[in-house]
């Protein structure tokens, strides 16, 4: 293998640039030509493929977002679109690709590999930490710390006014951001897709807190909770707790941005190198990850089809610490 390419796709996550940097410099160190594909699968179809040098990734390890840009691609969902993408890769002599992204990115990469056999390795870049085959995904730690910083600030206001705050964090299918920021922020309750929490449970917890002389409360809600959004949950709770001052904050896309933490920079750098070495060692159709702090390779089909369970020790810890 002499030429490889790297691209980012789907939602951005802090640390993607650190991973791009690692892929580029690792490839050069290992005597490979490396190309960057802009705008994900759309750029692959349009032929936005440029050779990268060491200086191409200077001064980006500390930045959020992705210098290669990201985009959703409807055309790549079609056979015609994927054929154009493959022809553009072959035009540049590219023999392997590294896809940095999440579930949607890997679904496309797996289909592309099945159809054309071009070696592909996925590097998990998503703040949700929801991919099977890695203990952590690139951007998760930064997102948790961003959410935690916001929760700390909200608690100051909650305590000053004896208010209840419902704080919504990202996590449509995964409660990892909610559970970790909730524990770190001292939340009285955390609502996540993986567990069943009723409105009655919330009301009971709030009343219990007032009985225990808690002046204020923080409830962290993952956006994918079965009871609905934080706004919807708060409105239903208000009906039964008219004497409580209830507010809602949706942290939204601030969780995606910002410079990556040291943990995410190092994780991204490790995964970038492992992805390049994996291609050189014959790995293909896999996702590179870290389990028990060791580099692993998991079949892409398994990574995108098998659910990653929430750490039940953390769920139990949340309940114990919220009394």
Q: Which residues are catalytic?
A: 128
Burial of 4 (0-12, 13-18, 19+ CB in 10 A): buried
Burial of 293 (0-12, 13-18, 19+ CB in 10 A): exposed
Among 168, 300, 309, residue whose Cα is nearest residue 232: 168
d(CA 17, CA 100): 10
The token duo for 16 is 């993607």
d(CA 10, CA 15): 14
3-state helix, strand, coil in the chain (%, to 5): 45, 20, 35
Which helix (DSSP H) or strand (DSSP E) does residue 83 occupy?
Answer: helix 79-91
Which helix (DSSP H) or strand (DSSP E) does residue 250 occupy?
Answer: strand 245-250
User: Under a CB-based contact definition with an 8 Å cutoff, are residues 106 and 9 in contact?
Assistant: no
d(CA 32, CA 2): 5
In angstroms, the Cα distances linking 55 to 25, 52, 316 are: 9, 8, 48
d(CA 168, CA 233): 10
The token duo for 70 is 């990201």
């Amino acid at each position: 293998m002499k030429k490889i390419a790297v691209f980012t796709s789907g939602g951005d996550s802090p640390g993607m640039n650190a991973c791009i940097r690692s892929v580029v410099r690792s490839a050069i160190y290992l005597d490979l030509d490396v190309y960057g594909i802009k705008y994900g699968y759309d750029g692959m179809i349009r032929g936005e493929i440029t050779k990268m040098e060491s200086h191409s990734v200077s001064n980006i390890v500390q930045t959020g977002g992705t210098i290669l840009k990201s985009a959703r691609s409807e055309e790549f969902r079609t056979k015609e679109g994927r054929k154009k993408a493959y022809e553009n890769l072959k035009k540049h002599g590219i023999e392997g690709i590294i896809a940095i992204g999440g579930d949607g990115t890997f679904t496309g990469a797996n289909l592309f590999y099945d159809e054309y056999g071009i070696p592909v390795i996925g590097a998990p870049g998503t703040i949700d930490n929801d991919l099977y085959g890695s203990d952590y995904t690139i951007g998760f730690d930064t997102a948790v710390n961003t959410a935690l910083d916001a929760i700390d600030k909200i608690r100051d206001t909650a305590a000053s006014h004896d208010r209840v705050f419902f704080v919504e964090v990202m996590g449509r299918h995964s409660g990892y951001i909610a559970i970790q920021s909730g524990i770190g922020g001292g939340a009285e309750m955390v609502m996540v897709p993986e567990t069943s929490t009723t409105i009655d449970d919330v009301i009971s917890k709030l009343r219990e807190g007032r009985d225990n002389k808690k002046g204020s409360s923080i409830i962290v809600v993952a956006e994918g909770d079965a009871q609905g959004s934080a706004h919807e949950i708060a409105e239903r709770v208000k009906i039964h707790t008219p004497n409580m001052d209830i507010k809602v904050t949706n942290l939204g896309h601030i969780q995606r941005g910002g410079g990556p933490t040291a943990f995410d920079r190092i994780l991204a750098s490790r995964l970038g190198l492992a992805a390049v070495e994996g291609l050189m060692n014959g790995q293909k159709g896999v996702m590179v990850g870290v389990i028990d702090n060791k580099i692993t390779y998991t079949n892409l089909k398994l990574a995108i089809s098998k659910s990653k369970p929430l750490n039940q020790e953390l769920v139990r810890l949340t309940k114990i610490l919220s009394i």
